[in-house]
Amino acid sequence: MKGKTILITIAAMMALFLGFKVIKSVSGKKAVTVQAQIFPVEVLTVTPSDYDETINLSGTMMAENQTEVPSKVSGKILKYLMEEGAWVEKGQNVVSIDRDEIGVEFKEASLETPISGWLTKKYFDTGAHVTPGMTLFQIADYHRVKLVIQIPEAEISRVKTGAGAHISIDAWPDQKFIGSVSQMSPTVDYLSRTVKTEISLKNPGMKIRPGMYARARINIKRHVKAIVIPTTAIIERETGTMVFVVENGLAAVRQIMVELDMGETSSVKSGLSFGDKLIVAGQHTVAQGSAVEVVGGK
């Protein structure tokens, strides 16, 4: 009986010992698990930002003062008095025509230019027969130029005459040109549903040539003290558009409304406040209430 009691006591002590080991092991695992659930994140403090709302369009450069000159008589072109590329003063003769009207003896007719500019194009060769109304040459003065663009009908209410524009041209990739909207057609083209619009700009160094392709970034509206955040910080889910911020060491979800997507950045209309610690890296690994550690950002 005494031996049986001793065996029972030994068995109980072993059970207690094993139980302690299990509890200690489980507690250690829990500690490791808790530690693993602290997510490293980078943050950005939300501060007021100013930005220009813009619209991007492309078109063709033209001389601001340009005209095509037609023949006033019928006859044969005797010669052009100027070569293409030559500067021509207003009223200067450009082409000589041998008139061949019935009942008119040979009489040489000259065609003058109505504006000063460069002779940019001759449409016929010497000896060609022309009639009244046929375009013989083109004169263009491109000390000032204009970019002709087509604004979609849906956007015309946003673009105003006088709006500033930044122009970029492939031929001069490192230079930006400044212009402004000078004219908008009063009608909408019924086929393209667009409005013909001109952006006027200076031509420093005569670098811009008529016919060049160019892109315009037109200023639509100036926003002051707005909330602008990296677009990559925004998460789109079935429940809506959201971001995460850090509050008391925890990740907190914020439902936001985006006012304008500008590519790398977006302006936020609601859902964030100045001073919020926006998570900009690590936001896809956290959930509401996740413990976080700020390891970078500003």
**CA atoms of 209 and 171, how far apart (whole Å):** 10
> What architecture is the 72-133 domain classified under in CATH?
Beta Barrel (2.40)
222 φ/ψ sector (left φ>0, alpha ψ -120 to 50, else beta): beta
pLDDT in tens, 222-273: 999 999 999 999 999 888 999 999 999 999 999 999 999 988 999 999 999 9
Q: Which CATH architecture best describes the domain 54-61+144-223?
A: Beta Barrel (2.40)
152: how many CB neighbours lie within 10 A of its CB?
14
State the Cα–Cα distance between residues 69 and 130, nearest whole angstrom.
13
What tens digit of pLDDT does each residue of 205-215 get? 889 998 999 99
Domain spans of the chain?
A: 38-50+225-297, 54-61+144-223, 72-133
Report strand pairing: 194-202 vs 291-297. Answer: unpaired
What's the chain's average pLDDT?
87
**Structural class in CATH, domain 38-50+225-297:** mainly beta
Greatest mean pLDDT among 4-8, 24-28, 60-64, 102-106 lies in: 60-64
Whether 283 has a pLDDT exceeding 50, the answer reads yes
Q: How far is CA 163 from the centre of its chain?
A: 16
- The CA R_g of the chain, rounded to the nearest whole Å, is 38
